[in-house]
């Protein structure tokens, strides 16, 4: 394999990882994708891709894709990040688009619309949503009993599991921390979407 072919293959690995996980791969993950026994070989490839203008290294040590090669195997769609949603005490919803994430089209399926929120808190950690995770949400006003939802309650947004009763709706935590309590409401509950997956 020539050096240019090796770089393109590495770039394809990075694109596919970003599409599936919503974040760049670690050096060790890239080494695994490339079949290297040593992460050092993957680190050298990353340096070469930075020098070629395909990547840049961020201050937090992660890599950022600047341009694509067209070699990735996953079909992706761009989904906007629209702010943060707590998994503990709700706080005011602000739909400020922070950026976009390329998501595998097998997760973000047409013709539905999607958005991404950044989870805050630990009240949904037993449902696979941890503090700081990027959460992919299918935009809808309807949700079934038991769905993980992004809901607006009294002008504030939260991620919880939906439970419908005869006269009341409960937004229940799924947490290892017993201090988290359900939110009960009879009115002013607005479903923003249903959680599809945690990308982080």
The catalytic site residues sit at 123, 160
What are the backbone angles phi and psi of residue 181, rounded to the nearest 5°?
Answer: -125, 155
Query: Which residue has 């959680």 as its token pair?
Result: 195
What does the angle CA 85 – CA 160 – CA 16 come to, to the nearest 5 degrees? Answer: 65
The 3-state DSSP class for residue 69 equals coil
Within a 10 A sphere around the Cβ of 62, how many other Cβ atoms?
A: 11
Q: Which residues pair with 113 in a beta bridge?
A: none
């Amino acid at each position: 394999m020539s050096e240019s072919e090796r770089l393109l293959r590495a770039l394809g690995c990075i694109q596919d990882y970003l599409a599936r996980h919503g974040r760049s791969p670690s050096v060790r993950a890239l080494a695994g994708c490339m079949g290297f026994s040593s992460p050092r070989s993957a680190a050298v490839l990353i340096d070469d891709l930075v020098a070629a203008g395909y990547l840049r290294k961020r201050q937090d040590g992660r890599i950022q894709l600047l341009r694509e090669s067209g070699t990735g195997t996953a079909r992706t769609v761009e989904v906007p990040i629209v702010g943060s949603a707590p998994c503990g005490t709700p706080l005011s919803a602000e739909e400020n688009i922070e950026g976009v994430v390329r998501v595998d089209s097998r997760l973000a399926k047409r013709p539905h619309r999607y958005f991404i929120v950044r989870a805050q808190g630990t009240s949904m950690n037993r449902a696979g949503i941890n503090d700081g995770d990027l959460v992919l949400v299918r935009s809808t006003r309807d949700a079934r009993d038991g769905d993980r939802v992004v809901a607006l309650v009294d002008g504030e947004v939260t991620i919880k599991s939906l439970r419908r009763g005869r006269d009341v709706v409960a937004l229940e935590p799924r947490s290892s921390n017993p201090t988290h309590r359900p939110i009960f409401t009879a009115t002013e509950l607005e479903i923003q979407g249903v959680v599809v997956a945690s990308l982080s």
